[in-house]
């Protein structure tokens, strides 16, 4: 038995204590509560890439106390010694009495590397947030003024050009008089959200946010100058409900409170970023507007709108149009009358983040053909030029984020992020320079590329055994081939190995992206030789090595100098839309113009996908 007791119903309320390094969390729950759910409610950062279906094995915790017996899923993923030592999958465990929980040692969370910078076009400053310093003529008997109309007249507007919400209108007359009729009016769009004495000079700020499935990044801008003041980022706290968008949809579809839990989690992350970027320089209420770029699911969830129909045939989102709402309506703690603008989406899962990438990379203005690939938890691909643009989304899955990979992890301390072959020996670089505890996406791509070059992985994806590899294979490599859990594996460093199943996961992810790119090229009737540039966006893309990606066939076979990294281009697109209403309109135009391609409906999709799961037989020329 893994725990002291498995007596069900032994307590009317169960206390759960979670000790993770220096921090201790605790909570009280009714018997029968799922442990993963309890940990999430207690504020634990536990990972649950499969969304609690018991298939990824990443929610391992060490438990002592009254809990349910191990399920079949746990017996499949944990070995008997681990079960005896109290290791459990939190998602498969129910609590029936007080218990103590600790993450396994290897789970110690280190700060992940989150990409916040992205290449973007320069824009002329013309934000949706404006400020007018005006002297309003004091009232006089010989006119018939009202304060509001006088203010608008002094600003050069007619009475119906602008609106003023009630809270501002209520304080208008006293503010005018206290300020001696010399005031500063702050507008978001056509609405006056604040009126201050002109002598009170407060920062005028805006925040651009990339709401990614895995990470959230925010940049604070001075809207008077267009300068970046601060940058903040966090892991998306929704990931405890699953690593990919489908798991999130499934969770959100369970009940209104589950949808609310997802919304609150991502909004809490944005609010943490707001506090972080404002600390020492401004107050959150100085932020008048937030512009968000997110995929369709993230946008729905942040707005508290159920994306449930996106997961069911024929996969329909509630909206794709640009969404603008008051920040307070969705809980973002900036100016109480400040607004949030979500970049519009293109189709199904291709959302505002892809519009952001197109905007930042200028694909809609490009004279030559360019392919942009955002290799995130979902893979979005755009191809075209100013004449025509097509886009699709591929179910690449979270393999490149480390999910479903035996030793997979994010790019954080302990992750092998680079693998090379030097003088016949494997060389691994470990983030943080310590002992390796896992492998992240870029390391994974490198490792498979190295093994392909060495003939240890065949183009079919088969990992050869020690007894069947070529006689020319150096002994240093041969000695790394071993059997793990009944399958072939290649030892990289420390205890970190790549298994046959890992290579299959890479093939699925790579196959999905490569098939998407090929179908888009077919759609435009072009081959890879016509591509002027292949742009890699997103955090993962930025840390990828071109040679490895091309060797795997993840990217079309183009000369390596045609591959460019554009970083967090989704966030860069949000920045452009924050800094300029012209760019915002351009984003709206992009969303209307880009043709969405449903690749699963493409007649030869299955054949193309199967072909693209194969690795190229040799080094692409």
**Residue among 18, 39, 40, 48 that touches ligand FES (CB under 6 A):** 48
Q: Which of 57, 494, 557, 616 binds ligand FES (CB under 6 A)?
A: 57
Closer to ligand FES at the Cβ: 54 or 189?
A: 54
Q: Which of 323, 330, 328 is nearest to 291 (CA)?
A: 323
Stretch that binds ligand FES, among 49-57, 168-176, 409-417, 593-601 (CB under 6 A): 49-57
Instruction: Answer whether 417's CB lies under 8 Å from 543's CB.
Output: yes
When computed from its CA atoms, the radius of gyration of the chain, rounded to whole angstroms, is 27
Closest by CA position to 596, among listed 544, 520, 527, 533: 520
Tell me which stretch binds ligand FES (CB under 6 A): 45-53, 104-112, 498-506, 535-543. Answer: 45-53
Cβ-Cβ contacts under 8 Å for 244 (sequence gap 6 or more)? 49, 51, 213, 377, 378, 397, 398, 403
d(CA 380, CA 368): 20
Q: Which stretch binds ligand FES (CB under 6 A): 47-55, 180-188, 277-285, 544-552?
A: 47-55
Residue among 39 and 270 whose Cβ is closer to ligand FES? 39
From the list 9-17, 55-63, 260-268, 327-335, the region that binds ligand FES by CB under 6 A is: 55-63
Stretch that binds ligand FES, among 42-50, 230-238, 418-426, 462-470 (CB under 6 A): 42-50
> Which residue in 18, 38, 40, 50 binds ligand FES (CB under 6 A)?
50
Q: Does residue 325 sit in helix, strand or coil?
A: strand
Cα angle at 511 between 505 and 514, to 5 degrees? 140
Least CB distance to ligand FES at residue 334 (A):
34
| Residue 59 in contact with ligand FES, rule: CB under 6 A | yes
Q: Tell me the closest approach of the beta carbon of residue 250 to ligand FES, in angstroms.
A: 13
CB of 54 to ligand FES, least distance (A): 5
**Using the rule CB under 6 A, is 397 a contact of ligand FES?**
no
CB of 251 to ligand FES, least distance (A): 11
Regarding 58 and contact with ligand FES (CB under 6 A), the answer is: yes
Residues 6+ apart with CB under 8 A from 609: 511, 512, 515
Decide if residue 89 touches ligand FES (CB under 6 A): yes
Which range binds ligand FES by CB under 6 A, 46-54, 110-118, 222-230, 581-589? 46-54
> Does the protein bind ligand FES through residue 409 (CB under 6 A)?
no
Tallying the residues shown for the chain, one arrives at 621
Q: How far is the CB of 148 from ligand FES (least distance, A)?
A: 56
Distance in angstroms (rounded) separating the CA atoms of residues 178 and 338:
24
> Is 399 near ligand FES (CB under 6 A)?
no
Residue where the block lists tokens 């959230």:
216
Of residues 66 and 89, the one with the C-beta less far from ligand FES = 89
Q: Which residues of 134-168 are buried (b: 16+ CB within 10 A; e: fewer)?
A: bebeeeeeeeeeebbebbbebbebeeeebebeeeb
Kindly give the pairing relationship between strand 205-211 and strand 287-294. Answer: parallel
- Least distance between ligand FES and beta carbon 237 (Å): 15
Nearer to ligand FES, 55 or 324 (CB): 55
Q: How far apart are CA 219 and CA 344, in angstroms?
A: 19
Contact 355, 346 (CB under 8 A): yes
Using CB under 6 A, which of the segments 56-64, 224-232, 284-292, 347-355 binds ligand FES?
56-64
Q: Which is nearer to ligand FES, 12 or 72 (CB)?
A: 72
# chain residues binding ligand FES, by CB under 6 A: 12
Which is nearer to ligand FES, 54 or 494 (by Cβ)? 54
Least distance (Å) from ligand FES to the CB of residue 242?
Answer: 8
- Interacting residue with ligand FES among 56, 269, 452, 463 (CB under 6 A): 56
Strand order in the sheet with 339-342: 228-235, 215-222, 205-211, 287-294, 339-342, 323-326
* Minimal distance, residue 311 CB to ligand FES, in Å: 18
Q: Which is nearer to ligand FES, 89 or 363 (CB)?
A: 89
Residues 230-269 that bind ligand FES (CB under 6 A): none
Q: Where do the DSSP E strands lie in 260-330?
A: 287-294, 323-326
- Residue 500 to residue 114: CA distance in whole angstroms: 29
- Judged by CB under 6 A, the residue of 2, 52, 438, 461 near ligand FES is 52
Rule CB under 6 A: say whether 91 interacts with ligand FES. Answer: yes
Give the CA distances from residue 296 to residues 28, 355, 539, 599, in Å, rounded to whole numbers and listed in that order.
35, 11, 18, 17
The residue number whose beta carbon is nearest to ligand FES equals 91
CB of 72 to ligand FES, least distance (A): 12
Q: Which one, 47 or 150, has the nearer CB to ligand FES?
A: 47
Does 557 help bind ligand FES (rule: CB under 6 A)? no
Q: Which is nearer to ligand FES, 446 or 502 (CB)?
A: 502
In this chain, which stretch among 44-52, 102-110, 170-178, 286-294 interacts with ligand FES, using CB under 6 A? 44-52
188 vs 192: CA distance, rounded Å: 7
Dist CA 370 CA 562 (whole Å): 10
3-state class (DSSP) for residue 415: strand
Nearer to ligand FES, 46 or 209 (CB): 46
Q: Does 519 bind ligand FES (CB under 6 A)?
A: no
- Span between the terminal Cα atoms of the chain, in Å: 57
> Which of 567, 558, 458 is CA-nearest to residue 514?
558
Cβ atoms of 542 and 113 within 8 Å: the answer is no
Quote the least distance from Cβ 80 to ligand FES, whole Å: 18
Beta pairing, strands 215-222 & 205-211: antiparallel
User: Cβ of residue 152: shortest distance to ligand FES, in angstroms?
Assistant: 56
Helix (H) or strand (E) run with residue 372 in it: strand 370-375
Residues in CB range of 245: below 8 A, 6 or more apart: 213, 295, 297, 298, 349, 377, 378
Q: Using CB under 6 A, list all residues that contact ligand FES.
A: 48-50, 52, 54-59, 89, 91
């Amino acid at each position: 038995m893994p725990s002291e007791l498995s007596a069900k119903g032994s307590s009317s309320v169960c206390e759960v204590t979670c000790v993770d390094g220096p921090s201790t969390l605790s909570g009280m729950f009714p018997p029968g509560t799922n442990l993963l759910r309890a940990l999430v409610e207690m504020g634990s950062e536990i990972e649950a890439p499969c969304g609690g279906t018991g298939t990824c094995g990443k929610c391992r915790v060490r438990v002592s106390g009254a809990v349910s017996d191990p399920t079949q899923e746990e017996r499949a993923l944990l070995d008997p010694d681990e079960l005896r030592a109290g290791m459990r999958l939190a998602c498969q465990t129910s609590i029936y009495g007080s218990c103590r929980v600790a993450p396994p040692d290897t789970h110690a969370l280190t700060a992940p590397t989150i990409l916040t910078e992205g290449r973007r076009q320069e824009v002329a400053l013309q934000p949706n947030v404006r400020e007018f310093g005006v002297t309003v003529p004091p009232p006089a008997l010989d006119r018939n003024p009202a304060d509001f109309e006088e203010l608008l007249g002094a600003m050069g507007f007619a009475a119906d050009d602008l609106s003023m919400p009630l809270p501002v209108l209520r304080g208008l007359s006293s503010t005018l008089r206290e300020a001696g009729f010399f005031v500063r009016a702050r507008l978001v769009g056509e609405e006056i959200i604040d009126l201050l004495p002109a002598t009170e000079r407060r920062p005028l700020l805006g925040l651009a946010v990339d709401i990614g499935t895995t990470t959230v990044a925010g940049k604070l801008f001075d809207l008077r100058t267009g300068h970046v003041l601060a940058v903040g980022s966090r892991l998306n706290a929704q990931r405890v409900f699953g690593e990919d968008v489908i798991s999130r949809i499934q969770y959100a579809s369970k009940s209104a409170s589950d949808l609310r839990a997802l919304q609150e989690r991502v909004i809490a992350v944005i609010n943490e970023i707001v506090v972080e970027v404002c600390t020492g320089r401004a107050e959150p209420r100085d932020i008048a507007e937030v512009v968000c770029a997110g995929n369709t699911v993230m946008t729905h969830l942040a707005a508290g709108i159920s994306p449930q129909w996106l997961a069911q045939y024929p996969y329909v989102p509630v909206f794709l149009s640009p969404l603008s709402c008051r920040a307070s309506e969705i809980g973002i703690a900036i100016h109480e009358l400040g607004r949030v603008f979500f970049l519009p989406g293109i189709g199904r899962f291709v959302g505002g983040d892809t519009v952001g990438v197109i905007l930042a990379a200028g694909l809609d203005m490009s004279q030559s053909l360019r392919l942009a690939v955002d290799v995130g938890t979902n893979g979005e691909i755009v191809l075209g030029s100013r004449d025509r643009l097509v886009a699709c989304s591929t179910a690449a899955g979270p393999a490149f984020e480390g999910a479903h990979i035996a030793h997979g992890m994010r790019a954080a301390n302990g992750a092998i992020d680079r693998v090379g072959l030097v003088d016949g020996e494997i060389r691994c670089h470990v983030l943080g320079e310590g002992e390796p505890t896992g492998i992240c996406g870029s390391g994974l791509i490198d490792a498979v590329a190295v093994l392909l070059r060495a003939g240890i992985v065949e183009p079919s994806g088969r990992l050869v055994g020690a007894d069947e590899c070529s006689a020319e294979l150096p002994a240093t490599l041969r000695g790394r081939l071993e059997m793990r859990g009944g399958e072939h594996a290649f030892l990289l460093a420390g205890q970190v190995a790549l298994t046959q199943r890992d290579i299959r996961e890479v093939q699925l992810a790579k196959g999905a992206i490569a098939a998407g790119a090929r179908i888009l090229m077919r759609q435009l009737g072009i081959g890879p030789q016509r591509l002027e540039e292949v742009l890699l966006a997103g955090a993962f893309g930025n840390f990828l090595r071109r040679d490895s990606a091309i060797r795997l066939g993840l990217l079309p076979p183009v000369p390596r100098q045609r591959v460019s990294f554009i970083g967090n281009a989704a966030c860069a697109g949000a920045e452009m839309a924050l800094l300029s209403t012209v760019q915002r309109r351009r984003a709206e135009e992009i969303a209307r113009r880009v043709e969405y391609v449903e690749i699963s409906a493409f007649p030869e999709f299955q054949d193309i996908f199967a072909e693209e799961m194969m690795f190229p037989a040799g080094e692409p020329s």
